[in-house]
Amino acid sequence: MRNQVAPADASRMPDSILARFHHTRSLSRDLARGLNEADMTVQSMPDASPVKWHLAHTTWFFETFLLRDHVPGYRLFDERWPFLFNSYYEAEGARIARPDRGLLTRPSVAEMLAYRDHVDEAMTAALPRLAERHGDLIELGIQHEQQHQELLLTDLKHLFSCNPLGPAYAAAGGASGAMPSPPLRWIEGAEGLAQIGSAGDGFAFDNELPRHPSWLAPHALASRPVTNGEWAEFIADRAYDTPSLWLADGWDRIRADGIVAPLYWRRRDGEWDHFTLAGWQPIDLDAPAPHISFYEADAFATWAGARLPTEQEWEAAAAGADPLGGVQLDAAGAIAPVAEEDDGAFASLFGNVWEWTGSAYRPWPGYRPAAGAVGEYNGKFMSGQFVLKGGSCATPRGHARASYRNFFHPHQRWQFTGVRLARSL
């Protein structure tokens, strides 16, 4: 063993943090269980990364920002590997180009898993001491790995969708089609001065800060997200052939890419089906519609006589909702959005699909990025992207919260991205 750090007393570590660290690390391995070497190595597009890379990069994060920087005597597992598994941290030096991650046939999966074991052992030994001074950084590492658990599943889904055999990651769960979608209701939102951003009552990324007042005009939000059945009506009304519904950039994009439906939909014998983590399946018309771009979301809202909610409107609506509720990731399996019953409030604010807002991803007033290399985590991406809220069926339960700010470019749709409509009153 290369690591020369003496074990510490793990009993000094708060059970919740120690348990969460190991639960998060174990879940990542569970998500990859049953995949073969090729499944874990191939990269299907530049936006996606191989499973093997996700497992190694999250390990590199703990090794670099905690073990290397804060544990005296720690030695890197392999001094060549930071070049392979750094993502976008300029402060950490050169790295392999993102589109080339799928060329890493070496190190093998076995070597990469040995890397995870090595870092997990060193982290377990050092966690009690690290928590005393670097608890926020440990939490950041856990939250970071949870983000990559979702990416691992969505990237793998894209990879498998490219295979003519339509392989299934796992068998379909029993929840699909379990209930009809409730009728859409309009719920008036808060108006006037609202407090937006993290209240400081738990972990938050730097882009959720500082908490600040924001003025909300009279508006209403839909009680649930748009469903697959409603999206089929949008298609049947030739909306993808109607330029007046689309933003100019969106119209150019769908024409150039030949987009006529959400990602993973196909028409066979006059009927739509779609690719899922359980392979090709009939479309559940009652489930929230996933894998749509911002451009598609905006066009649908225009077609429906509505608009996209602002980030502030969505966050104010979610302020009293339970972020642990809804359809979220609890264990490995063929997760998918499903309809939720109407309990008189908003359905699926958390889980099922990330919901596009009409708000650009920009800093809150008074925003300051975190110090050091981890300051590159969010702030430098505040250009040309839009905010999504709420989490999805692939978001690990406990990761989402009302102030959470996910962000993607307007054309991207390989994530579980959907839409909830809004109206001005």
Domain ranges, ordered by start, for the chain: 10-161, 186-424
Lookup: tokens for 328: 């979220």
Please say whether the beta carbons of 159 and 42 come within 8 A: yes
With respect to CATH, is domain 186-424 assigned 3.90.1580.10? yes
Instruction: Tell me the sheet residues that pair with 387.
Output: 407
Reading the block at residue 33, the tokens are: 């269980």
pLDDT of residue 6: 31
Q: Which pair of structure tokens corresponds to residue 378? A: 């969010």
| Beta carbons of 214 and 374 less than 8 angstroms apart | no
Length of the chain measured in residues: 425
* Helical residues (DSSP H) of 285-410, grouped into ranges: 294-303, 311-318
Sheet holding 219-222, edge to edge: 186-188, 219-222, 422-424
What are the Cα distances from residue 152, in Å, to 283, 332, 416?
23, 11, 12
Tally of CB atoms within 10 A around 215: 9
Q: What is the pLDDT along the chain (425 residues), one digit of tens a residue?
A: 233 333 334 444 445 888 899 999 999 999 999 999 999 999 999 999 999 999 999 999 999 999 999 999 999 999 999 999 999 999 999 999 999 999 999 999 999 999 999 999 999 999 989 998 999 999 999 999 999 999 999 999 999 999 999 999 999 875 545 688 999 999 999 999 999 999 988 899 999 999 999 999 999 999 999 999 999 999 999 999 999 999 999 999 999 999 999 999 999 988 999 999 999 999 999 999 999 999 999 999 999 999 999 999 999 999 989 999 999 999 999 999 999 988 888 988 999 999 999 999 999 999 999 888 888 889 899 999 999 999 999 999 999 999 999 999 999 999 999 999 999 99
Fold of 10-161: Four Helix Bundle (Hemerythrin (Met), subunit A) (1.20.120)
Instruction: Give the Cα separation of 416 and 425 in Å (integer).
Output: 29
